[in-house]
Structure 1
């Protein structure tokens, strides 16, 4: 069986006004560069997963622009909200452009990809949690697809990243999340956005893979938010994941120059 290839796009932070920047960067153009790069890849990914903070406290226009861009790709796309998103507006935009965007479990090539909403109980600072219904959904899906390899997708990081300000706004009920995963030996990895940095960590037998943003990158290991100033690490980025039939995952970050 050929592997399943996923492109993960995250933390676009699109503004209501496409000409308005975010943290001093033209995030609209950054997203264009990433989408253009995806279009150039041969072979193409099998799907694109957008893992939250797609719009920065904006109205429906940002989701419309993003969904139109994703429609140009030759493969299906799926999205989940982050703490800066409006989940209801996302659902509405997704239905307008085909309910596939809002799909929460994707099954392909021996893998079950479970997409979660971690924006419950926001703390006003950027943190979020998985609601009881999301945890129940996760447990049900893991049981239903017990013969598949499983990849779990959420926005908030379920492990700390040794950055004081970011660790305060990670997944608030990470213990409950890990308890839900514990009985299921078929969970191969968790992927998330939120941190605007690349990380590859491990908890038990589960890999935790975090992806830099299309918008701006944050410097790692800081007490407070500092933008990445390294000329390479600060480029817009996305992640490739190659999911093999034996449960192994190959992954790399693709940074996109102007």
Structure 2
């Protein structure tokens, strides 16, 4: 113990500060505090110090694998993965199961005048509208790589696109987002478009399932949390996983 000016003292509870958050150090600190402030209890003081120690110990990232990339971006934006409370909250999150699909045998046949013309509209107009809209905020969409999906999902979620859209804006973005997702199912998983006059019924056939990317897009833009709950990433990963299982 060393006396300091103005009535203060320096009380060394351990030989080295390197293990200040160890159990032995926290117990010594708690005893010192209780000695100096008799109104404190040893149990509550020690519990408080132990809680502080937890803040210094890293918590493992156990994000749901289908949306892990999205959650990791959010954790990094909010101050890094050392934010224990945030990581714990994100670790607990699991999106609802993907529901935007039908058995291939139940998928309705095309009802458009020209299947190829409809596909050209999906991929050449709608999907390119999304690229043009987000090329600055989400430059990954320009590359056409799989990393674009979680980056786009995170941007839509983080910037509250599902909440801030007007009806007219939503009706423009739903076809663009759905076509963008559908193009990944076609190019990345060998899927086949089944166009329909009603976009929400248009499907991409991959194996035994018909995925409904436009319906997924509408769900993803229905409210503030929807871009995470109904992410493009989760649907694609689910389709990819089932396609791989089907091929073996």
**Into which bin does the TM-score normalised by the smaller protein fall?**
under 0.3
In proportion to residue count, which structure has more helix? 2
TM-score, reference length from structure 1: 0.23
The two structures have a TM-score, normalised by structure 2, of 0.24
More strand by share: 1
